[in-house]
Structure 1
């Protein structure tokens, strides 16, 4: 289901809403690129790419501030109500989560500044697999946001449970490795933080899926079971 926002008497207001929505998607594209670059940097021990990710986070932060200011101007100037207000609220919350995803990508990139032995490569590969899963969640939820597609958003919402299971499995694997080789603990701790960052990115993607559903359906689904969401909103 796609939601049509082009329904205003004022063409200028339409344009303002469309512009700010496009800016969110541009920010999302940058954050997605940051995450994929961070994952590539870790898997390939590419310190130069990791530094580029860290530098790129400044642009992500600037985009959040700029879009937030746009939202404030729209509220002050247009005093939106009903679905228009929901859209502005959804945008403001989405960019906050995108900025935090950018922060997590920066933290993940730091791992690439360490060197890992051959017997630690399996850990890196498993983290990369989880990372690609989370990256697909981010891509899919941005697509759902672009089309304001409730069903696609809900599919991302459900995916977070799988990410949580991956997080638990990889954390157990890393803990076992540290117990077998206590000397590795300082370096391997950075891997634990990166896996934690990936789990948090999954949570942020789930949040954005909730904002899409909130905009289209006018319902806050935080703390609502997936069974109830499916029954009440998607039937």
Structure 2
């Protein structure tokens, strides 16, 4: 939940402007909650061989797309009406960027759901499920924490999310090596392992998008763009 840091925004004489900024933040977090649930449901659908849940995720992606359009329109109207400056402009710009990441997270969840339907049709086996659950849990936590960092305007928490990205990459590479071993041991595993690889790649991308959101939180709070910046320099920016 937002804390006292949240007052960095919404302290204008115009109550209407305050409400518009609060509504923008609220709608972004609603979209974030939706895609967070989509990722969790997609992983559950696959590991539980639940085709009904997988189909719900696939269909639910349309709602994510509609939310992206609505938030974009709302942000553009704020710029046109209010001509925000400094911190308020950073908030609006960051939201415009971050909804793209959320929409793409929704796309990755949809990809996982499609693979869940494919694997369910091919027959039940737990091959690759340990890797999916492990990486899925990790990136789901990253996404949750990046959204929480936004809600709290917490640059330090955003930095912690960014630091997790390297660990996810390492876990993804380790899982890929394990799946390659399965394929070498039995060629009948190749088709399934390739599907699992697509799922793991989608999850790794969810982690990347969570990291992007965290970068934008730092931009909002600190006023500095830390994209393409070393972790050491980002730590210095957050520590100022």
Task: Give the corresponding residue for 1:58.
Answer: 62
In 1, the alpha carbon distance for the partners of 2:44 and 2:203 equals: 14
**CA displacement 1:68-90 (0-9 Å, x = unmatched):** 00011111111111111110011
What is the Cα deviation at residue 117 of structure 1? 6.6
Aligned residue for 2:128, secondary structure, equals helix
What is the Cα deviation at residue 173 of structure 1? 0.9
Aligned residue for 1:9, secondary structure, equals coil
What is the Cα deviation at residue 127 of structure 1? 1.1
Task: Give the corresponding residue for 1:77.
Answer: 81
**CA displacement 1:131-190 (0-9 Å, x = unmatched):** 011101111111111111111111101011110001000011111211222233223211
Aligned residue for 2:52, secondary structure, equals helix
Counterpart pick for 1:222 among 227, 230, 233 = 227
- 4+ residue segments displaced more than 3 Å: 115-118
Q: TM-score, normalised by structure 2?
A: 0.93
In 1, the alpha carbon distance for the partners of 2:238 and 2:189 equals: 49
**Could you say what the CA RMSD is over the residues aligned between the two structures, in angstroms?**
1.5
Figure out how many residues of one structure are paired with residues of the other and give that number. 234
In 2, the alpha carbon distance for the partners of 1:76 and 1:231 equals: 34
Task: Give the corresponding residue for 1:160.
Answer: 165
Task: Give the corresponding residue for 1:111.
Answer: 115
Structure 1 unpaired stretches of 5+: none
| Aligned residue runs from structure 1 range 115-134, under 5 A | 115=120, 121-134=126-139
Please state if 1:2 is matched with 2:5: yes
What is the Cα deviation at residue 201 of structure 1? 0.6
In 1, the alpha carbon distance for the partners of 2:127 and 2:199 equals: 15
Please state if 1:186 is matched with 2:191: yes
Whether the 8 Å contact between 1:57 and 1:106 is mirrored in structure 2 is yes
In 2, the alpha carbon distance for the partners of 1:9 and 1:215 equals: 21
In 2, the alpha carbon distance for the partners of 1:158 and 1:88 equals: 25
Whether the 8 Å contact between 2:46 and 2:116 is mirrored in structure 1 is yes
Counterpart pick for 1:31 among 35, 41, 44 = 35
Whether the 8 Å contact between 1:133 and 1:163 is mirrored in structure 2 is yes
Q: TM-score, normalised by structure 1?
A: 0.95
Aligned residue for 1:8, secondary structure, equals coil
What is the Cα deviation at residue 233 of structure 1? 2.8
